[in-house]
Structure 1
Amino acid sequence: MSTAADPPTEADPERVASALSAAEFVRIHPRPTGDAVAAAGVLARALDTRGVPFQVRATRAEAVPDGDGTALALGWTAPNATGIAPEARPVSAVAAAVVDAFGAEPDPLVGLAGVVAAGTVPGDGGSGSLLEEAQRRGVVNRRPGVAVPTADLADGLAHSTLFWAPYSGDPDATGTLLADLGVDTAVGETAEAERAGVDEDAHRRLASAVALDSTADAPDRAVSAVERALRPYETPTGPFATLGGHADVLSALARERPGLGVALALGADVADAALSTWRGHAERVHEALGDPTTGRYDGAFVARVEASPAAAPALVTAARLVRDFASPESVALVVSDDAAAAAGDGAVNVTAALRAGVEATATDGTDAAAGDTAESSDDSVDVFGDDRVGEARFAGGDVQAFIGAFREALR
């Protein structure tokens, strides 16, 4: 039977470590975000070194599924589990502090990938000790340029969701950009030269071009948003070319295939499958944003897009990109005929607003419900998320009514 849980409060690393130290079996339930999935990897690896059995399963449920052992919710507050909810620090940074208190050493690469996935620059958000440890071990090396997961820069730039520029989604256009800037497209073949300072100027030109192209005519927040894509940390022993690229892949997996994201965070050799999923996710994101119909309202910027039901997971990433690089308002809504996603700054609850939109389009008069695991496709799951980021799916209906109810709920 399930053990009693701590009340949902802001996570204290010592308290969480104490609960884990006394556990005979730990069930870890991260929300499907790159940050939470990375945190699950950090904690599970530490439990493994201590010989504590564990299970990791991403979930969208409002409470953790029942089961034996100690339940741990990552990236959300569950009423029946010890939890590490997103607060001022990334969940992965708090998880690393728990591992420290646990008497083990957190994996710095996985932890830092989670930090970047949370939208934070390595070293910030309480991740300074992780960065110091990574540098001490020699598993990160900072260089000029742009963070991508692949050795092929044209491929990496085209599929990146760390920024949004005119050439996003177009490998031919990114190849032309690189040629114009005199940058080798295969970063892996020139890594030693870059470390020797041979091609640094070209990569600085690339970083400058991406920064300028993604912030031109963009809101002020774009300047800070693009920062995590610039001056990347190479990861010579990691599964991907850079730390930021690792984070980008984790975030895509969390949305599309969270089970594969968990496997990656646990250290499984799944880089090829992960990159394939990342590319597909990015293609759907950039295709959806290729020709949106936009409208600005008081408090919200809305992008109407054409997207198939299979592309629904991509709308969350699309909403984040619109918020960071296009929206003059604090909240961005991306909506198709049967799905929507919203991203904001936390001042208002975008998930509650999405729920209001779903209820306005419901044909049977029932309330929106949540309660699915991240690996299933239960049609009863209509709304999922938190104050800052949320997603909704609905079986058609009046999209204008959805938008109107969403806007009204923001007031």
Structure 2
Amino acid sequence: MSAAGRPNEDAPGRTAAAMREAGFVRLVGTADGDAVTATGLLARALEATDTPYQTSLAAVPEPPATDADCTVAVGHESGGADAALRETPLSVAAADVARELAADAVDPTLALAGAFCAGAEPSGRLLEAANLDRRPGVALPTEDRATGLAGSTLVHAGFSGDEETAAGMLDGLDDEDGRELASLVALAAVEDAVPRAAESVQRALRPHECDRFETLGGYADVLGAVARDRPGVGIALALGRDVEPTALETWREHGRRAHAALRAADTGRYDGLFVARVGGKAPLGTVARLCSQYRSPEPVALAVTDGEAAVVAGNGTAIEAPLGEAAAALDGRAVARDGRGTATFDGTADDYLVAFREAQ
């Protein structure tokens, strides 16, 4: 798995040992695709070993209850946890832990999809175990190309969030293997976009095939959407439950809202920071990521609304300290890892922007 760092080799064994000895395990994760997948992988192993457990996901998790024999924080630090998974991709670390508990319970395709959410390229023994073929085309979670292009949050282009526009782009396209579609999507994604869009859109092209949602990238896109909008469905999806129709509808609406919010955002550029002020309720984590990949000329992209903010940083720019300090200044809390983070706070979008810039 190509990713930024691997967990300490002893960490999976220690976490597995703590879970193995527990009569009841609590899994507390952040509400994002990698974390929901990691939580699901751990929960599958617990089910395989008949260990009672409870899961919860939140953008900024509350301190966990103390009624469990073992509490595992997934994607964040928690003083009340007995173990934590923090290394990205969380899904790869969770697969290692699950393998220690119940090797047959590990779903390599699920783990690869979660790692894809974290920005990792499929490789290594998980890819060998999953045995996924790669093909030309675009990473979509559905055979309906218009629906897939409109809902996808792997790309932000003129067709994004608009099935009618997507269908119009496909009209008359005679392209069975997907090569021409991939070229059209790549060109649309870089039009009027920042230079890094050319690199970002590559993740949506030449996908690995996948039984559950057509492509691995499409599977990952759905996991990310349901984790943020309907965490309970996200856990069920990661557990292998039959929730695909609900998950796809959630993903479709999530994409529509995210693209609409980014287009309607009041943007501002500062030294090293690009801000998208978003009105109403929007999936800020997705908006911040799309902004960073396709719209921000600065290394840090901040999507913010009253009471909530999300940030994505590139080039190794540190954001954990300013994100947390700004939230604390407004009686709030924050979580961050590997250049991405979320904050909740008591105040307006402008209040948080001022606090964040002062903390940078």
TM-score, structure 2 as length reference: 0.88
CA separation of 1:144/1:61 partners in 2, compared to 1, >3 Å: closer, same or farther? same
Q: Point out the structure with the larger strand share.
A: 2
Within a 5 Å distance, the mapping from 1:274-293 to structure 2 comes to 274-293=247-266
In the other structure, the counterpart of 1:304 is: 277
8 Å CA contact 1:348, 1:387 repeated in 2: no
8 Å CA contact 2:331, 2:345 repeated in 1: no
Q: Secondary structure at the match of 2:275?
A: strand
Distance 2:203 2:253 in 1: 22
How many pairs does the alignment contain? Answer: 352
In the other structure, the counterpart of 1:369 is: 332
In the other structure, the counterpart of 2:19 is: 20
The residue type paired with residue 333 of structure 1 is L
8 Å CA contact 2:85, 2:94 repeated in 1: no
1:271 to 225, 240, 244: 244
In the other structure, the counterpart of 1:104 is: 103
Cα deviations by residue, 1:16-74 (Å, 9 ceiling, x for unpaired): 22222323322211211110110111122122222222222224335322112211111
1:166 to 146, 149, 158: 158
8 Å CA contact 1:10, 1:84 repeated in 2: no
Distance 1:215 1:284 in 2: 21
In the other structure, the counterpart of 1:251 is: 224
In the other structure, the counterpart of 2:35 is: 36
2:143 to 118, 132, 151: 151
The residue type paired with residue 330 of structure 1 is P
Within a 5 Å distance, the mapping from 1:83-122 to structure 2 comes to 83-87=83-87, 89-105=88-104, 106-122=106-122
Question: What's the offset of the Cα at 1:175?
Answer: 1.0
Within a 5 Å distance, the mapping from 1:176-195 to structure 2 comes to 176-183=168-175
Q: Secondary structure at the match of 1:231?
A: coil
In the other structure, the counterpart of 1:134 is: 130
In the other structure, the counterpart of 1:324 is: 293
In the other structure, the counterpart of 1:335 is: 304
Q: Secondary structure at the match of 1:57?
A: strand
8 Å CA contact 2:268, 2:276 repeated in 1: yes
Distance 2:33 2:83 in 1: 17
8 Å CA contact 1:346, 1:387 repeated in 2: no
CA separation of 1:304/1:172 partners in 2, compared to 1, >3 Å: closer, same or farther? same
Distance 1:256 1:275 in 2: 12
1:391 aligns with 2:342: yes
Within a 5 Å distance, the mapping from 1:173-252 to structure 2 comes to 173-183=165-175, 199-200=176-177, 203-236=178-211, 238=212, 240-252=213-225
CA separation of 1:17/1:348 partners in 2, compared to 1, >3 Å: closer, same or farther? same
CA separation of 1:347/1:154 partners in 2, compared to 1, >3 Å: closer, same or farther? same
8 Å CA contact 1:358, 1:368 repeated in 2: yes
Q: Secondary structure at the match of 1:290?
A: helix
Of 263-272 and 17-26, deviating more is 17-26
The residue type paired with residue 41 of structure 2 is V
CA separation of 1:55/1:207 partners in 2, compared to 1, >3 Å: closer, same or farther? same
8 Å CA contact 1:11, 1:83 repeated in 2: no
Look at both structures and tell me which one has the larger radius of gyration over its CA atoms: 1
8 Å CA contact 1:28, 1:71 repeated in 2: yes
TM-score, structure 1 as length reference: 0.78
Q: Secondary structure at the match of 1:73?
A: strand
CA separation of 1:84/1:143 partners in 2, compared to 1, >3 Å: closer, same or farther? farther
Gaps of 5+ in 1: 1-8, 184-198, 361-366, 371-382
CA separation of 1:288/1:351 partners in 2, compared to 1, >3 Å: closer, same or farther? farther
1:404 to 346, 354, 358: 354
